[in-house]
Chains A and B, each alone.
Chain A
């Protein structure tokens, strides 16, 4: 059973719009979350990480983390067609070498 749940499965947003992606872990031992982006035919690359409660912003990308509910979200403002990709959420616990990934959210940004 998948311990990292992502929603929605797929998302279409207009160019310039806001995309919001969600991720929740059912494993209470999880402490850290990452967001990876995978363009079609390519390998995943780390986009952002978040380890503390609150918010972290890097350019057009913002991640939130609520450790009590083990929920993280990724928000992409001013979405561009080049943001179209599979977004994967990963989780791990402190001192744990095992990274568990969710099934991903496929984002399509249409011009």
Chain B
């Protein structure tokens, strides 16, 4: 088995601040994802990465940057936090043959 670790679990930022969320997986999966989930809602794709050093924009990429410098890690940066923004950011990885997404526990963001 494997695990996806997201840090931090909770992130409180100020309006306009640049904030970075980190994700590590030890599944040895090639593809990794960042999704945003607003309270009680579905998942919206921000960025995904097919392999190391690859980046692909999702439907919600504006206002975010991403980085995949190693196969095991995928970082997401909120370039300028919006006041009163609250959401959970979920990282996932995918084993291509299993065709299943495995999710981390999430980072809960609050912006004051």
Question: Could you tell me if A49 and B99 are in contact, using CB atoms closer than 8 angstroms?
Answer: yes
Question: Could you tell me if B56 and A104 are in contact, using CB atoms closer than 8 angstroms?
Answer: no
Instruction: Count B interface residues, CB 8 Å.
Output: 23
Q: Does B101 contact A (CB under 8 A)?
A: yes
A73 to chain B minimum Cβ distance, whole angstroms, is 17
From A43, A97, A98, A104, B106 is in contact (CB under 8 Å) with: A43
| Residues of chain A lying within 8 A (CB to CB) of residue B56 | 97-98
CB within 8 Å for A102 and B42 given contacts A43-B105, A97-B50, A97-B94: yes
Instruction: Offer 16 A-B interface pairs, CB within 8 angstroms, sorted by A.
Output: A6-B42, A32-B99, A36-B101, A43-B104, A43-B106, A44-B103, A46-B100, A49-B100, A86-B40, A97-B94, A99-B33, A99-B101, A101-B42, A103-B41, A103-B42, A104-B40
A residues within 8 Å of B by Cβ?
A: 2, 6, 32, 34, 36, 42-46, 49, 86, 88, 90, 97-104, 106
B residues within 8 Å of A by Cβ?
A: 31, 33, 35, 40-45, 48, 50, 56, 58-59, 90, 94, 99-101, 103-106
